[in-house]
């Protein structure tokens, strides 16, 4: 691995605390603190993403196990944790920061693209807020596999280079019910063009460090926003517009594939519009706009599936507040926010069009989508299986409601079947207004509706096996997620079995990681 080519642009550009002091504290005036990882004795490789290593310029001939767990690093690698702030569950939380993420710096590939590298779970930092800075195998597997799954689904996301067991035992009270357990420790080395969050900007605004705020915006524009001209007088406003656009696109993609993030706090919002921080997330099994996988999010369901567009808007409002000191134009900021709201549903409908195989969005589609959504919500049909069934049947002249029986999580009643029949009739009528042929419709649908999704119960089973030393299921999932739109064994495509309905880790999760 070319770890000697790692550079430190961010460290070179911004004020940092080089004391190396790991004590928990506020770090006013600084955007990062240099830190060192904990020492681990018995490393064990679970996964090395060779393709990604090659893509980002780290090379692929061999992997360096110690590097993958931040051990015995060469002198050229400066390790650091950044300070950021955020709104958590709607409330200002002040300084947060990388509590268990440590940066290695950046690496460049042949195309001059840079990627930041970050270990998650290799030790405490000044931002750990009395937690241990460790990650358990369970949560590391979930981050590794899901971030890669999102990449192959075509959703903007951070990625995962490796997964290594640290050999440590870590204590976690997974259900927060006073029953702590020892779990195996692990670390994911994750990769992104940048890990900058809304929270980094919020922190600088809250600390009134306006010069650094402007510097950070310029840094982001220069390095990550080719759509923004850093020499333009309106660069700051253009930057906000670009973040809003990217955020909307990301959330639309979440809706397309049926992803629920679970903790959309502003510190978990990437400024680049990448899906970041895979915690108590879930893919949708049965369709439910009210579904939140995160037990900490009950009973309010702030981060439920159907609220994600609205919450992103709220988070953008917090970012607008943070950028105000350098933009100073409330009307212009508000206009962007208003446009976000109206454009969002248009983008959403365009996305649904593709899922249904419609070539263009027609006026009649809005009521059609509303009726469809209400049916999905009332019948709680499996989101992915529903669209796969529709895609399979689209070449047939007469669709049969019974073909959808597999999408139910309960025994369908006569009324349920009648509802599907009505929907199919409308759908057939709408299809006939398409200009493209049925095979073209089917192709459009196949490209926009994944067949394989990484369901929580599949992860749960793979994690249980891995904790017992068997990596067969983990490897099968890792392979399957690389071709989500292709064909797979039926076993990998099955909806959540009933036995998992109430099992912790299958339909409900906590933030414990």
Q: Where on the chain is the footprint of ligand AMP (CB under 6 A)?
A: 96-100, 127-128, 131-134, 263, 267-268, 277, 279, 511
**Of 160, 148, 162, 142, nearest to 65 (Cα)?**
162
Applying CB under 5 A, the span of 25-33, 236-244, 275-283, 300-308 interacting with Mg ion comes to 275-283
- Among Mg ion, ligand AMP, none, the one that 279 touches (CB under a kind-dependent 5 to 8 A) is ligand AMP
- Among ligand AMP, Mg ion, none, the one that 350 touches (CB under a kind-dependent 5 to 8 A) is none
Q: Which residue, 185 or 357, is less far from ligand AMP as judged by CB? A: 185
Question: Closest separation between CB of residue 267 and Mg ion, Å?
Answer: 6
Nearest-angstrom CA–CA distance, 265 and 185: 25
Q: Provide φ and ψ at 183, rounded to 5°.
A: -125, 160
Total of chain residues touching Mg ion, rule CB under 5 A: 2
Q: Which residue, 96 or 191, is less far from ligand AMP as judged by CB? A: 96
264, 308 Cβ separation under 8 angstroms? yes
Question: Closest separation between CB of residue 280 and ligand AMP, Å?
Answer: 9
Write out the DSSP string of 209-251.
-HHHHHHHHHHHHHHH-TTS-TTSTTHHHHHHHHHHHHHHHHH
Residues 80-109 contacting Mg ion, CB under 5 A? none
**Of 400, 347, 405, nearest to 381 (Cα)?**
405
Q: Alpha-carbon Rg of the chain, whole angstroms?
A: 23
Q: Provide φ and ψ at 221, rounded to 5°.
A: -60, -50
The 3-state DSSP class for residue 199 equals: helix
Applying CB under 5 A, the span of 248-256, 268-276, 384-392, 461-469 interacting with Mg ion comes to 268-276
Set 17, 98, 267, 297: catalytic member? 267
Applying CB under 5 A, the span of 36-44, 260-268, 324-332, 450-458 interacting with Mg ion comes to 260-268
Residue 267 falls in the annotated catalytic set: yes
Write out the DSSP string of 250-271.
HHHHHHHHTEE-S---GGG-BT
Question: Closest separation between CB of residue 262 and Mg ion, Å?
Answer: 11
Question: Closest separation between CB of residue 140 and ligand AMP, Å?
Answer: 12
- Among ligand AMP, Mg ion, none, the one that 221 touches (CB under a kind-dependent 5 to 8 A) is none
Question: Closest separation between CB of residue 304 and ligand AMP, Å?
Answer: 17
- Among Mg ion, ligand AMP, none, the one that 99 touches (CB under a kind-dependent 5 to 8 A) is ligand AMP
Q: Which residue, 94 or 367, is less far from ligand AMP as judged by CB? A: 94
Q: Which residue, 96 or 228, is less far from Mg ion as judged by CB? A: 96
Torsion of Cα atoms, 433 then 436 then 442 then 446, to 10°: -110
Question: Closest separation between CB of residue 172 and ligand AMP, Å?
Answer: 8
Question: Closest separation between CB of residue 99 and Mg ion, Å?
Answer: 8
- Among Mg ion, ligand AMP, none, the one that 412 touches (CB under a kind-dependent 5 to 8 A) is none
Nearest-angstrom CA–CA distance, 481 and 152: 7
Tokens at 84, concatenated: 């950021």
- Among Mg ion, ligand AMP, none, the one that 100 touches (CB under a kind-dependent 5 to 8 A) is ligand AMP
User: What is the crossing angle of helices 330-356 and 308-327, to 10°?
Assistant: 150
* Buried-state track 395-421, b at ≥16 Cβ within 10 A, e below 16: eeeebebeebeebbeeebeeebbebbe
Q: Which residue, 202 or 277, is less far from Mg ion as judged by CB? A: 277
**Of 437, 232, 212, nearest to 326 (Cα)?**
212
Q: Which residue, 268 or 446, is less far from Mg ion as judged by CB? A: 268
- Among Mg ion, ligand AMP, none, the one that 131 touches (CB under a kind-dependent 5 to 8 A) is ligand AMP
Q: Which residue, 57 or 279, is less far from ligand AMP as judged by CB? A: 279
Number of neighbours of residue 331 by Cβ within 10 angstroms: 6
Question: Closest separation between CB of residue 83 and ligand AMP, Å?
Answer: 10
Give the distance from CA 267 to its chain's centroid: 13
Measured at CB, which residue is nearest to ligand AMP? 99
- Among Mg ion, ligand AMP, none, the one that 16 touches (CB under a kind-dependent 5 to 8 A) is none
Write out the DSSP string of 27-78.
-TT-SEEE--PPP-S--EEEEE-HHHHHHHTS-SS---HHHHTT-S--TT--
Residues 276-305 contacting Mg ion, CB under 5 A? 277
Q: Which residue, 302 or 451, is less far from ligand AMP as judged by CB? A: 302
List the one residue from 82, 139, 194, 268 that touches Mg ion (CB under 5 A): 268
168, 185 Cβ separation under 8 angstroms? yes
Using CB under 5 A, list all residues that contact Mg ion. Answer: 268, 277
**Which residues are known to be catalytic?**
267
């Amino acid at each position: 691995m070319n770890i000697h080519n790692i550079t430190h642009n961010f460290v070179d550009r911004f004020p940092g605390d080089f004391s190396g002091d790991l004590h928990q504290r506020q770090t006013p005036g600084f955007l990062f603190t240099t830190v060192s990882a904990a020492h681990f004795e018995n490393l064990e490789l679970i996964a090395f993403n060779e393709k990604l290593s090659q893509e980002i310029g780290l090379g692929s001939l061999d992997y360096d196990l110690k590097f993958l767990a931040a051990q015995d690093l060469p002198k050229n690698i400066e390790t650091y944790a950044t300070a950021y702030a955020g709104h958590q569950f709607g409330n200002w939380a002040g300084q947060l920061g990388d509590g268990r993420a440590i940066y290695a710096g950046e690496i460049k590939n042949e195309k001059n693209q840079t990627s930041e590298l970050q270990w998650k779970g290799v030790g405490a930092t000044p931002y750990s807020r009395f937690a241990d800075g460790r990650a358990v195998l369970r949560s590391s597997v979930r981050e590794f596999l899901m971030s890669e799954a999102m990449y192959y689904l075509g959703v903007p996301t951070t990625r995962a280079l490796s997964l290594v067991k640290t050999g440590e035992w870590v204590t976690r009270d997974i259900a927060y019910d006073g029953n702590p357990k020892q779990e195996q420790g692990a670390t994911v080395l994750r990769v992104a063009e940048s890990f900058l969050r809304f929270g980094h900007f919020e922190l600088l605004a809250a600390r009134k460090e306006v010069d650094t705020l402007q510097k950070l915006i310029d840094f982001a524009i220069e390095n990550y926003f080719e759509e923004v001209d850093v020499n333009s007088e309106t660069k700051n406003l253009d930057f906000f517009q670009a973040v809003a656009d990217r955020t909307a696109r990301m959330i639309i993609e979440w809706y397309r594939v049926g992803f629920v993030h679970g903790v959309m706090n502003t510190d978990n919002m990437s400024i680049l519009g990448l899906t970041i921080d895979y915690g108590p997330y879930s893919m949708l099994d049965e369709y439910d706009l009210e579904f939140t996988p995160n037990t900490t999010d009950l009973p309010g369901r702030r981060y439920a599936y159907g609220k994600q567009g609205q919450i992103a808007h709220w988070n953008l409002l917090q970012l607008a507040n943070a950028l105000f000191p350098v933009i100073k134009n409330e009307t212009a900021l508000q206009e962007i926010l208003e446009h976000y709201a109206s454009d969002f549903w248009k983008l959403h409908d365009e996305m649904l069009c593709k899922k249904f195989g419609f070539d263009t969005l027609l006026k009649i589609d809005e009521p059609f989508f509303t009726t469809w959504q209400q049916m999905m919500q009332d019948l709680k049909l499996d989101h992915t299986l529903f669209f796969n069934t529709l895609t399979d049947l689209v070449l047939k002249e007469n669709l049969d409601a019974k073909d959808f029986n597999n999408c139910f999580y309960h025994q369908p009643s006569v009324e349920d079947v009648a509802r599907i029949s009505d929907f199919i009739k409308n759908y057939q009528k709408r299809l006939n207004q398409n200009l493209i042929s049925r095979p073209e419709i089917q192709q459009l649908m196949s490209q926009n509706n994944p067949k394989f999704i990484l369901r929580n119960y599949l992860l749960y089973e793979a994690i249980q096996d891995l904790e017992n030393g068997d990596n067969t299921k983990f490897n099968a999932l890792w392979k399957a997620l690389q071709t989500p739109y292709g064909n797979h064994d039926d076993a990998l495509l099955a909806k959540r079995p009933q036995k998992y309905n109430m099992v912790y880790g299958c339909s409900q999760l906590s933030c414990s990681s």
